[in-house]
Structure 1
Amino acid sequence: MKNTAEVLRDLVEPSNIAVHSTLQLAGDVSVAAAEDDKQRKAKDLDRLRRKPGLCPVPAKDLCRLAQLTTWDVLHSFGRAITLARRGAGRGLAEHWSCLKYNQALTGNSDSFIGLSAEGRETADYYKALQSGELGTGFALALAKRLLSRRYPNHFVSIVPADTALRAGWALTSRDSGPKSGYRYRPQFFAEVWRPGEPSRVFPIACKGNHSGLSASHTQLASASTHAEAVHIGAWDETPCLVFSTELPLDGPLTVHALEAGGSGGWLDAPERVLDHELEDVNVYPGIRPIAQSDNTAEPEPGYHVSPDLYGWFQHTLARTAAAGLTAFAGDTRATAPYLTKRQGQRHFTGFTHAATGSVQDARHRFFGVEFVGTDHVFRLNRKRVEAFSGVAEDLFRHLEEGRVEKYRREVYARRSTWPRDVWASRWDGPVSIHPDGSVLAMRLFHD
């Protein structure tokens, strides 16, 4: 077994990631979808609506071979689940769960990344959990890279779809308002934006498996149903990205990716003042398809962001993204005002279960930048290690005071200026800094 210092070094070792996106893959996914439709029909179940026109991602946009560090992937996963509402805890809360995978992967610059011995052992007991969570990390890291290449003068924000949609729709029986009655939806939205301009939104559906290529075909067919559940603008014009990460017990990890094009996804209404608080609204559930002849088409199940909702939805995405950052820094007081009641505001106010709360009371300096946030001490191979998550202090102060507009202007201006180093010698551990101003760092704990 590697000692703790070796594990920390391995976390920042760049490794090759195999990305598979071909016409053959798109065809195999269509076959898997048709087989699923056949089985549902035999069971007298309704036929699912899937995203039409899934196709490969062009090689110029997403290289067939990419390099990532495990630490960057875990940072992407940790940021994504800060508002996941996976339990009664908060703060220590959900985003720290990414750290349980710091020994699950192995690889180096001369090889493909894959499961380590610990990752293979974990898969025997928590197969679906590990593959799903790691699949999320890899999918989001690659989605941000892809969209940043396509929109080089824009900023890419990842927002949890459930949290964003809850501001307008009642997703479950526990939510107040007209019930959507539809359990399919993407896991995330990617908002591509520039200050003061219309933004574009891409639903993202991502899954993972430890089984093999055929399982990924089935997962991508299922992901197309989740991505199709949200329409922004005209019927079937919303672009999307779908991923299935294959983590075999023996062999390299492969991310299978497809996309659907379209002219929609643009939120081109006049911007609302993002500093203003967001209120729950009740949007009538359903997506209105294109009418045939003079007949009024019945709405299909799902969530439709129609043109009159563009400004509201852009407002929702910006404030939900802000909530994710302040939660990542451990500040529940700053997080609560960014969320509506249905989005889970109460999870960041009031009583906290013992050992599940965090507080924004730590600060560290990395590569000349001051960060504030929260920390957590735990054991790794019997040694105590300290993990720190936070946000650049000047940007955090904007969010703490409700200045979302100023935060977005400044983080956009600094999007390509953040340090790229992955090991801080003074801190003596791995450090990941993302363009949104967030940081994740870990080191051996010294009394």
Structure 2
Amino acid sequence: MKPTAVILKDLAEPSNIAVHSNSELAGNVSAAAADDDKQRKGKDVDPLRRKPELQPIPAKDLARSAELTPWDVLHTLGRAITLARRGAGRGLAEHWGCLKYNQALTGDAASFMALSAEGRETADYYKALQSGELGTGFALALATRLLNMRYPDRFVSIVPADTALRAGWALTSRDSGPRSGYRYRPQFFAEVWKPGEPSRVIPIACKGNHSGLSSSYTQLASASAHVEAVHIGAWDETPCLVFSTELPLDGPLTVHTLEAEGSGGWLDAPARVLDHPLEDDNVFPGIQPPTQSKTPPEPVPGYHVKPDLYAWFQHALARTTAAGLTAFAGDGKATAPYLTKRQGQRHFTGLSHAATNSVQDARHRFLDIDFVGTDHVFRLNRKRVEVFSGVAKNVFRHLEKGQVDQYRREIYARRSTWPRDTWDPRWNGPISVHSDGSVLAMRLLR
């Protein structure tokens, strides 16, 4: 059993991540999709509608070896699942779920990251959960890096797709409004934005496995159906990213990724005032294919953001992002106004189950920046540790007051100025600061 102090050091240690994206991968994924279609036809089941022409990502945009720390990956995962509503925390403490992987990864600057002994043992019991969640962390970290490279004059926000879509569509039987009845959806959107200009939105589907390369082919083929479920603008012009993270029980992990190009995804409409509340809309489900004759074809299952919805969707994405940040800081009172009823506003206003609540009442200074947020104390190998998640104080105050436009202007201006240190000597523990102003830090409790 590693000493807790060593575990904390390991979390801050950069390690290499193998990235696999080439024409051979695209061909094998296409073959896996064709095989799945064949099996579906044999069972009298309609083949899935998939994103056509998945292509490799050029190495100039995403290097075939990327350097990350385990703590940065866990920070990315924690931010991604803040509004997931999967646990008894009812939204206020969902992000602490990333901490169960504190000892799951190992590696250093001279090697590639892999599952640790504990990660391999956990995989024996919780394969799908561990591979899926860690896969999300790695995929979104690399997606953000890729889009920052391609759009250096813009800011990249990762938005949970289900939460954003719920503002306009009824996704399940529990949601009010006309149901789509379609279970395929991307897990996330990347909103690439600049204050005062149209955003570009890129659907992302990410999966993970402990099984091997062939499973990644199948997962990427499935992911191509998930990203195809959302069209923004013209038919089949929405760009997308798909990821499958292979976490073998013996050997380094590899992130397999492909993309689909397209001229769509731009929310080109007069911008709304983002400070104004958002109400649930009732968008009729379905994607309208292009008309080839006088009779328009029937809509296909999915979610279509047409031009008349561009301003509304940009509004929904911005306020959903704000909700994720205030929830990450533990402030339910500040989170509720950013969400509509269907998005789960009530989860941040009612009573919470015992030991699952978060309260925004903690303050710390990291790397000469003041942060406000919430803390969590638990035992790691019998030692008590403290974890803090929060947002930079000066930018959080904008969110607390409902000033989304001002928040976005400020973090856009500061996007390249945040510290990149992975350890704070004064705090004496691993630290991760993201360009959205959020922080995740952990230390031995004195």
Amino acid in structure 2 at the alignment position of 1:222: S
CA contact (8 A) 2:366 2:424 kept: yes
Partner residue, 2:63: 63
Tell me if structure 1 keeps the 8 A contact 2:127–2:210: yes
Q: For each residue in 1:81-109, what CA deviation from the matched residue of structure 2 results, as whole angstroms up to 9, or x when unmatched?
A: 00001023146621001011010000001
- How far did 1:355 drift? 1.1
Alpha carbons 2:169, 2:179 under 8 Å: kept: yes
Distance 1:329 1:93 in 2: 10
Does the 8 Å contact 1:92/1:376 carry over to 2? no
**Aligned mates of 1:7, 1:353 — CA distance in 2:** 30
Is residue 434 of structure 2 the alignment partner of residue 434 of structure 1?
A: yes
1:18 counterpart residue number? 18
Task: Kindly report the root-mean-square deviation, in angstroms, between the aligned alpha carbons of the 2 structures.
Answer: 0.7
Residue equivalent to 2:278? 278
Which runs of structure 2 are paired with 1:194-343 in the superposition (5 Å)? 194-343=194-343
Contact 1:88 / 1:347 at 8 angstroms: preserved in 2?
A: no
Residue 135 of structure 2 aligns with which residue? 135
Counterpart CA distance in 1 for 2:90 and 2:74 is 19
Shift, 1:350, TM fit: 1.2
Alignment of 1:52-201 (within 5 A): 52-90=52-90, 93-201=93-201
> Paired residue for 2:356?
356
Could you say which residue in structure 1 is the equivalent of 2:405?
A: 405
Counterpart for residue 4 of structure 2:
4
Aligned counterpart, 1:380: 380
Unaligned stretches of 5+ in structure 1?
A: none
Q: Secondary structure at the match of 1:301?
A: coil
- Following the alignment from structure 1 to structure 2, what is the Cα–Cα distance between the partners of residues 224 and 340? 29
Distance 1:53 1:239, change over 3 A: same
SS of residue in 2 equivalent to 1:185: coil
Would the aligned equivalents of 1:91 and 1:328 in 2 still touch at CA under 8 Å? no
Name the count of aligned residue pairs: 446
Name the aligned partner's letter for residue 27 of structure 1.
G
8 Å CA contact 1:91–1:358 kept in 2: the answer is no
Cα distance between partner residues in 2 of 1:143 and 1:218: 20
Map Cα deviations across residues 279-310 of structure 1 (whole Å, 9 max, x no partner): 00000000000111222111000000000000
CA distance in 1, matches of 2:219, 2:318: 30
Secondary structure of the structure 1 residue equivalent to 2:124: helix
Flag structure 2 segments of 5+ consecutive residues without an equivalent: none
Provide the C-alpha distance between the structure 1 equivalents of 2:263 and 2:442, rounded to a whole number of angstroms. Answer: 43
Amino acid of the structure 1 residue aligned with 2:94: E
For residues 372 and 239 of structure 2, the distance between their equivalents in structure 1, rounded to whole angstroms, comes to: 36
1:32: how far off? 0.3
Q: Helix, strand or coil for the counterpart of 1:125? A: coil
Cα pair 2:83 2:324 within 8 Å, conserved: yes
Deviation beyond 4 Å, 4+ runs, structure 1: none
Distance, in Å, in 2 between the alignment partners of 1:443 and 1:97 is 17
1:432–1:439: 8 Å Cα contact kept in structure 2? yes
> 8 Å contact 2:82–2:92 — kept in the other structure?
no
Partner residue of 1:394? Answer: 394
Q: Are the structure 2 counterparts of residues 92 and 181 from structure 1 closer, same or farther at C-alpha, using a change threshold of 3 Å?
A: closer
The CA deviation string for residues 138-159 of structure 1, in whole angstroms up to 9 with x for no partner, is 0000000000000001000000
Q: Using the alignment, how far apart are the partners of 1:301 and 1:167 within structure 2?
A: 18
Worse overlay, 286-295 or 220-229: 286-295
Q: 1:92 to 1:6 in 2, by over 3 A?
A: farther
SS in 1 for 2:223: helix
The alpha-carbon deviation at position 124 of structure 1 amounts to: 0.2
Bigger drift between 318-327 and 37-46 goes to 37-46
What is the TM-score normalised by the length of structure 2?
Answer: 0.99
Q: Matched residues in 2 for 1:11 and 1:72: separation?
A: 8
Name the CA distance, whole Å, in 2 between partners of 1:161 and 1:398: 24
Distance 1:63 1:366 in 2: 30
Question: C-alpha distance in 1, partners of 2:328/2:107?
Answer: 28
CA contact (8 A) 1:334 1:399 kept: yes
Q: 2:83–2:91: 8 Å Cα contact kept in structure 1?
A: no
